[in-house]
Structure 1
Amino acid sequence: MAQNPSMPNLVLLPGLACDERIWEAQIPALPQAFNTRVSDAQRHNGTIEGMAAAVLRDNHGPLVLCGASMGGMVAMEAARQAPERIAGLALLGTSARPETPEMFTLREGAIEYFERGELRDVIEPNVYFAFHPAQAADPLLVQRYLDIVLGAGAQQLISQNRAVMRRPDARLHLGSVRAPVLLMCGDDDKLAPPECTNEMAALLPQAEVVWVPACGHMLTMEKPELVNAALNDWLAKHFA
């Protein structure tokens, strides 16, 4: 099927220190009627607000924004900045809340390691927070994750963590979103736990919620078939 110029553009927004590789199982499975691209706004802007503005600037016309983790925060901020541009939001493993004091302190400590170039000391233990135990035991999956995050480098890890630490409280405007919304969450997500998704769902009565079993924070890598099925069902329902 060829691209349909009447369809909104589909923009995939990676999480912190991630890139197009976290979407490698989704891109070939998504409907070909969409003009699909992966944003790299997170690499060139130091705030969630700046990343969202870049996404809106770099992509024309109506947009379906599909964001994972920090990418979901960027998607919600883009919806605040330009609600008339948003045709749909798919928010995976994310939170509308501002940073908690506990996580702010943890990120400050991690940044000190990054500034010394000690990336592995932080990122390797983080595997057990990012993945469900079953997936954390998969050496190939873990190595792919480490390649992506360590490959981002210290400066990106510092900049993007600071952006997340200073993120806005999206709950203040999320209820004004009128476009279709898909919320997905792993049932064992330790970084954006299920109560965050429940909170967003309460603000978005039109949202469809998909719980991914035996899954942690990295939904697109941990359970690609389930993520693909949910995304394709939602896209077909609202944009066929």
Structure 2
Amino acid sequence: MEEQIIKEGKFKYIEMGEGKPIIILHGLMGGLSNFHGVMTHFPKKGYKVLIPELPIYDMPLLKTNVKSFAKFLEQFIEFKGLKDVILLGNSLGGHIGLLHTKLYPKNVKALVITGSSGLYESAMGDGYPKRGDYEFIKKKAQDVFYDPEVATKEIVDEVFATVNNRIKLVKTLAIAKSAIRHNMSKDLPNMHTPVCIIWGKNDNVTPPNVANEFHALLPDSELYWIEKCGHAPMMEHPKEFNTLLDSWLSKRNY
């Protein structure tokens, strides 16, 4: 990662650019580098892009849940003195963004979700395999993308290391269960924050019908599709992702 990780108090984050704040929320197995395309594009457009490192493996087990991360995000926003933030979340990050928006609607000017959990029970994966099975993990990582080549050895190695670390594995499963418990289908119709939904047409983790359901339940949402794309559009098709998000932000004058 070329960008400097800033450490202040209990927060570790990347910050680039000046202007309106976009806070990026990474997924359970997703590192900060997954959003490299967004990070390099939006600071040139008059946005301050911030990516806090979510304390996924640092919380006590009882607090390893979606709500704790939504509160952690609130603390980060307060710590940085930000107002009218645009939240952008992938997978678990989208779920954290949705719950944060429900709990602290005054903070959030707009929300962008892609491959988000929050509705679909299998969104966090269907359990984890026997530790030590590298080929199984590799196949799992490749299935996240339309093009399996996007799952580089570095990505596979990182996932493999996580599931072979007993404490991290226990916390990963705790978050997965928490995400299932925090189903937001009843909350979404009451959330009037503008939401941009960008989804991969070939997402196997959160299939296209999940995006359609988010769109149907969220009162002020727009849905955009990316063809030949899996669960992480901002990684697999960064230029197209940025173009769609750019035009949505411009249309809304954000």
Q: What TM-score, normalized by structure 1, do the two folds share?
A: 0.83
Q: Which residue of 1 aligns with 2:156?
A: 146
| Preserved CA contact (<8 Å) 1:180 1:206 | yes
Query: Distance between the aligned counterparts of 1:146 and 1:104, measured in 2?
Result: 17
| Residue 50 of structure 2 corresponds to residue 37 of structure 1 | yes
Secondary structure in 2 aligned to 1:127? helix
Measure the CA separation in 1 of the matches of 2:191 and 2:215: 12
3-state secondary structure, aligned to 2:252: helix
Q: 1:199 to 1:209 in 2, by over 3 A?
A: same
Label 1:147 to 1:121 Cα distance change in 2 as closer, same or farther (>3 A).
closer
TM-fit CA distance, 1:148: 4.5
Aligned to 2:32: 20
Structure 1 distance, partners of 2:161, 2:207, is 26
Once structures 1 and 2 are overlaid, which stretch shifts more, 218-227 or 146-155?
Answer: 146-155
Aligned residue number for residue 81 of structure 1 = 103
Which portions of structure 1, spanning 4 or more consecutive aligned residues, are displaced by more than 6 angstroms?
Answer: none
**Matched residue SS, 2:37:** coil
List gaps (5 residues or longer) in structure 2: 1-16
1:91 aligned to 2:113? yes
Matches of residues 205-224 of structure 1 in structure 2 within 5 Å? 205-224=219-238
Offset of residue 122 of structure 1: 4.3
1:125 offset after TM fit, Å? 1.6
User: Of the two structures, which has the highest relative contact order with CA contacts closer than 8 Å and spacing of 6 or more?
Assistant: 1
In the TM superposition, residue 232 of structure 1 has moved relative to its aligned partner by 1.6
Q: Residue 180 in 1 paired to residue 194 in 2?
A: yes
TM-score normalised by length of structure 2:
0.79
Please, what is the CA RMSD of the aligned residues? 2.5
Per residue, is there more helix in 1 or in 2?
1
Query: 2:113 is aligned with what amino acid?
Result: L
Partner AA of 1:127 in structure 2: A
Q: How many residues align?
A: 225
Q: Which runs of no fewer than 5 residues in structure 1 stay unpaired?
A: none
Cα deviation for residue 65 of structure 1 reads 0.8
Counterpart residue number, 1:106: 126
Aligned partner of 2:217 among 190, 203, 211? 203
Superposition pairs for residues 120-199 of structure 1, below 5 Å? Answer: 120-132=134-146, 135-136=147-148, 138=149, 141-150=151-160, 152=162, 154=165, 155-167=167-179, 168-199=182-213
